[in-house]
Every structure is written in C-alpha cells, then in structure tokens.
Amino acid sequence: MNRLFCTTLVKYSPRNAVLPSRAVQWPRSLATTASNRHANTESTATDAQHYDIIIVGGGMVGTALACALGKNSRLQNKNILLLEAAAGFKQPSTEQYSNRVSAISKGTYRLMRTIGAWEEIERTRVKPVLKMQVWDACSDALITFNYDDFAENISWIVENDVLLASIYRQLEGVPNVRVRYSSKLASCELIRDGADRSTVRLADGETLKCDLLVGADGYNSLVRRQMGVQNFALAYNQMGVVATLRLANAPSDNVTAWQRFLPTGPIALLPLSDDTSSLVWSTGVAEAKRLLQLDGDSFIAAVNAAFHKPMPRNTLVDDVMKGVHSLIKQTTGQRLEAAPVVEAEVASSRAAFPLGLGHTSTYVGQGVCLIGDAAHRVHPLAGQGVNLGFGDVQTLVDVLADANYAGLGISNVSELLKYEQQRLKHNVPVLLTTHSLQRLYTTDFVPTVALRSIGLTLTNALPPVKKFLMNYAMS
C-alpha cells in the first residue's frame, strides 16, 4: 500500500443576505464597467454563455480563488464566473460560534490580507494562537511550539462561516466576477473529450463555456472525474467529532492550542475566546457515533477524561524514555501543562464528519485544473487541509497572471503545469507527513510507542528543528 500511495502522490503529467437562486446583482456602475471591459471580445448573446474562467464550487477555497483572480491587476480583463450549488452561503451567527473552524497559517493570512478579507475577519471574530502543546497519552513525550517571547502568532483560529462570509463581501467590489447560486453542475465536457472549449452543463439544462475550468468542488469532484485522472483515496475508518465548548476556570488569556494523541486518534482544543474553545476529536467510527449520542454531561465527562485521564503505560517505554532524558545534555526545562477543564458544550454544536486521505495523479489538463480538496484531502491532525487549498489559490493566481501578462493564454497546459509542479513540492510532503503521523499515533504497540516518544522528545530538545517544522507547516 505504501508503494502505491507514494507513487500515486507524486505521479503527474509532464506537460452577506444573499439573493438565492440567481446571480448576485452588481451595482449598475460596476456592471457597466465589466461590460465595457469585454465589449470588444464577443457579442452580448455570446457573453451570456462564455466566460474566461469558470470556478465550480463556492466554498472557502473556490470563493477565495474568484476573489483573488478578480482583484489581480493582470487579470482584470478576464470575465470570471463562480458556480455554487447551494442557494446561498450561511451567514455567521452573531450569537454563538460555529463548530467548524480552521487554524489559519501565515500564508493564508497573507492571502486574506491581499484580497482584503482579513480586516472583515478581524471585525467579526478571530483568535490568535501563541502556543501549541502536543503530548502522547502513552508516554511522557511532549512537544511545544511557540516563538521566542511569544513575539509572533503561530496561527489564527477562524470559524469557516466567518472566513467564507468575509471573502464573499470582498466580491461585492469586484466587477469582473459573477456569482451564481443554485447552480448545480450536472456534467462537463473537456477539450480532451473533443470539445472546442471546456463546457459545463447545469442541472437546469443551461450550457456554459470557458477557456479555463477550475474544479473546486471538493473531494467528490465531478470535474476531476471528467478529467479521467487517477485518484488515490484512503478511508481512515475514523470520524472527526467537533463541538464548541465552554471552559471552567478559563485562563485569563486563552491563546494555547492543545492536542493529545490517544491510541484511537488525536483530540484537540482550539481557542475561540478567553472562555470558549473548539473541539476536534478524531476517533473510530463506532466511538464517534457513541459520543454523538451521549447527553451533555456525559459528553463533557468523556472530553475531560480524554484530555486528563492517565492511560496505561508500559514499563519498557518508561525505561527507554528515562534513558533518552539522561542522554539529553541540555534539557528544555519544559513540563507538561494541564489542558483547560471543560465545563459545558454549546447547545447543538456537536457533529461529526468522516476522515480520509486523497490525492489525484495530476492537477491540470488542457483548459482545466483542480484546487483544494478536489486535488488533495488530508487528515485534520495538523490543521493543514484548508491551508493547502489556499496555497493552491495563491500559486494558481500567480501563474495565470504571469501567463496572461505574457500573452500565453490561461488554458495552456505548459503554463498550468507550473502551478502543478509548485504545489506538488509543498502538498506531497505535507500529505505524506500527516498520513505517517496518523498511522504512527493510532496504536499502542509498544515498539511503536517507544520510537515515536523518542522522536518527539528529541525534536522538542532541538529548538532549530522545532522552528523549522513550525515555519514550514504554517508558511
């Protein structure tokens, strides 16, 4: 399996209220500007059916791409359409936190600032993370991540609803981007199928054509299937249980992310406010379903036990760890800090979703490309999923802007391959590392526990290595 997994990962070809069921209506002045930009290209009738770029999928990654493309000075002559199957995006609640959040990396932070969304995020809700503590339930191994004197954030916790709404609001000022809701993709035809241009057919029978079709339609991507590329998929037989939790005796400044590796999978507590945190608990499917059925008090008891209850320890592992500590000449002086005790869960915040791994053999084709979960899917233990997708966005925008400026076209495979090659260099190592950690930390097999504990302890004792890992993961 490992050989197939690695081969499939690296193989690639060389070469705010939203108006439902209709397009977002832009102000007349903006619409006129957009119309004038494209007046010299095609007739009005043809404009209604042809776009330079069509993005399928109006999630966080697809919407960010539409916004970044539309705001790029070298692509403002391109007519862009964003298709979303839902009737409209969910407005973030003003009364409580959402149970789906993302740990935003520095790269994503820069992208959000570039497209103007970060100011809106800050005005809504965001929580910086200054420190992260990770520890093994089967030994005394731990590692902490933070910058010297807590001078920088290592990440930011943002609700997915807040992130998406903040990006959408930026689109209101982008005249060359049109958003259509209730637009479900029924099928598509690509140049490889004999079409003169990439073609999409909507569920209502409407046909649209474009020079570049971008699949941002998730890990069950229809665009990817039509490309006919191989897609490696692996179900972990795990689910991620999420909930919004209230903390008892909360710290004066809740800025630490906590993650404990249990034999059944990691459990994490991510700060949302001084007295509220978000839970992400990866565990087996049967256990996840049991957790969903528990009453509130029983669920809180289970969460606190998962963070604080001692697990059975093997004397051999303890002896090995004593030896490792004695060999480390300069100790870090760190001691395991106890995670906050959970007091209650926010009503109706508990949910679960399946976990798995996926990677497609190629991201691009003539007049088509994939981004986000359509191209790769990763376990949430390292908080990298949406950051990989936003990384795709930044790279693809840069490649397309350069190609358009040079007059090379936006559907040229040779140019699109630059996007693929750059993203493979980052995505594949992250997927391999995350998959290895998932396998390494979902067992209590004594030799494995001993080896991973040694590795974690040695890494924690080497600040330059920790800093490198932290900067790479959150770049």
Across 293-446, where does the E strand assignment appear?
341-345, 351-360, 364-365, 368-370, 376-377
Give the rounded percent of residues in the chain with a pLDDT score beyond 90.
74
* pLDDT, greater one: 249 or 35: 249
- pLDDT confidence tier of residue 251, bands split at 50, 70 and 90: low
* pLDDT, greater one: 305 or 335: 305
What residue type is assigned to position 300 of the chain?
I
pLDDT at 1 over 70: no
**Closest Cα partner for 98 from 160, 43, 154?**
160
Neighbours of 384 (CB within 10 A): 24
Give the pLDDT of residue 332. 56
pLDDT at 370 over 70: yes
* pLDDT, greater one: 401 or 474: 401
Q: What is the pLDDT of residues 385-418, one digit of tens each?
A: 899 999 999 999 999 999 999 999 999 999 999 9
Determine contact, residues 107/391, Cβ cutoff 8 Å: yes
pTM over 0.85: yes
pLDDT at 89 over 60: yes
**Closest Cα partner for 107 from 430, 350, 456, 457?**
430
Give the pLDDT of residue 279. 97
Count how many Cα atoms sit within 13 Å of the Cα of residue 3 in the half-sphere of its side chain: 0
Give the pLDDT of residue 333. 60
* pLDDT, greater one: 285 or 22: 285
Backbone angles phi, psi at 74, to 5 degrees: -90, 0
- pLDDT confidence tier of residue 472, bands split at 50, 70 and 90: confident
- pLDDT confidence tier of residue 46, bands split at 50, 70 and 90: very low
User: Which structure tokens are listed for 26?
Assistant: 């832009």
pLDDT at 132 over 80: yes
Determine contact, residues 413/366, Cβ cutoff 8 Å: yes
Determine contact, residues 81/54, Cβ cutoff 8 Å: yes
Cα→Cα distances 407→74, 231, 282, Å = 11, 32, 48
* pLDDT, greater one: 473 or 213: 213
Give the pLDDT of residue 470. 79
- pLDDT confidence tier of residue 383, bands split at 50, 70 and 90: confident
Q: What is the pLDDT of residues 318-361, one digit of tens each?
A: 998 888 888 776 555 668 899 999 999 999 999 999 999 999 99
- Which residues, including other chains, have CB under 8 Å from residue 75's CB and lie 6 or more apart? 69, 397, 400, 401, 404
- pLDDT confidence tier of residue 29, bands split at 50, 70 and 90: very low
pLDDT at 263 over 70: yes
Give the pLDDT of residue 161. 94
Q: Quick one: DSSP state of residue 346?
A: -
* pLDDT, greater one: 52 or 10: 52
What residue type is assigned to position 367 of the chain?
G
pLDDT at 36 over 60: no
Computed over every residue of the chain, the mean pLDDT equals: 88
Give the pLDDT of residue 30. 31
What residue type is assigned to position 351 of the chain?
A
Work out the angle between the directed axes of helices 446-460 and 463-473 (0-180°, nearest 10): 100
Distance CA 343, CA 249 (A): 9
Structural domains present in the chain:
50-474 (3.50.50.60)
Q: What is the pLDDT of residues 411-467, one digit of tens each?
A: 999 999 999 999 999 999 999 999 999 999 998 899 999 999 999 999 998 888 888
Distance CA 357, CA 359 (A): 7
pLDDT at 15 over 80: no
Strand 80-83 relative to strand 177-180, pairing: parallel
| Angle, CA of 388, 391 and 393, to the nearest 5° | 120
Average pLDDT rounded to a whole number, residues 54-73 = 97
- Of 8-22, 277-291, 459-473, minimum mean pLDDT range: 8-22
SS3 44: helix
